[in-house]
């Protein structure tokens, strides 16, 4: 099986969102250009890590070239586009900055079907694998917007326990710091 590169260059909308109730949510990233819509699912921690890394990258871009302007764009609070059909589950995420075009390239690679361990990073130029890749090229302004929304989506889940930090369900939770008593 050969890999597919699902390229969005340019992208009209690039957002993170969820489906389901807190504690049972499925996280998605969607890319849309015209009538073409791709949704990929991933873990909450991956959404958090991507948002954090984009914020760090934007800081680095500003520090390396202070003449680069990153204008603020309107916040996107609209729900995910429907239908939400998972193209694949994300395993590895790669990020690169194309200095010549002043765009950030995000590669979301599908989880590998074989038993090999996932690499710690992917080479954004290496297409020798057999996993599909969603490749999105976004401006720094869109990266800023994506990061803010993604962090809001991640933090909209269950509140953390003030004692152990674990998530508190609607019915409470058995807190290990309280010797198993419900909080």
E strand residue ranges, 76-151: 86-98, 103-110, 133-138
Give dist(CA 53, CA 107) in Å, integer: 13
Would you give per-residue pLDDT tens digits along the chain (183 residues)?
Answer: 577 888 998 899 999 999 988 778 899 999 999 899 999 999 999 999 999 999 999 999 999 888 888 888 988 888 988 888 999 999 999 999 988 888 999 999 999 876 455 555 555 455 556 788 999 999 999 999 999 999 999 888 777 777 777 777 766 777 776 665 555
Q: Which of 15, 22, 24 is nearest to 145 (CA)?
A: 15
Domain membership flag for residue 50 = yes
144 neighbors 72 (Cβ within 8 angstroms): yes
Place of tokens 């800081």: 59
CATH number of the domain where residue 164 is located: 3.30.2450
**DSSP letter, residue 12:** S
Question: What is the extent of the structural domain holding 124?
Answer: 5-178
Domain membership flag for residue 142 = yes
- What is the total count of domains within the chain? 1
Domain membership flag for residue 155 = yes
């Amino acid at each position: 099986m050969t890999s597919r590169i699902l390229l969005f260059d340019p992208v009209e909308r690039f957002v993170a969102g969820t489906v389901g109730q807190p504690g049972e949510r499925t996280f998605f990233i969607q890319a849309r250009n015209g009538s073409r819509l791709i949704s990929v699912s991933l873990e909450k921690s991956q959404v958090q890590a991507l948002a954090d890394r984009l914020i760090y990258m934007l800081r680095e871009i500003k520090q390396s070239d202070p003449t680069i302007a990153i204008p603020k764009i309107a916040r996107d609070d609209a729900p995910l586009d429907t239908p939400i059909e998972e193209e694949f589950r994300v395993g590895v995420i790669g990020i690169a900055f194309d200095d010549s075009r002043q765009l950030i390239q995000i590669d979301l690679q599908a989880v590998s079907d074989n038993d090999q361990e996932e690499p710690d990073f992917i080479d954004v130029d290496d297409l020798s694998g057999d996993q599909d890749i969603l490749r999105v090229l976004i401006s720094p302004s869109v990266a800023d917007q994506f990061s803010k929304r993604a962090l809001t989506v991640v933090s909209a889940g269950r509140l953390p326990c003030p004692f152990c930090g674990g998530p508190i369900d609607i019915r409470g939770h058995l807190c290990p710091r309280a010797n198993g008593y419900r909080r």
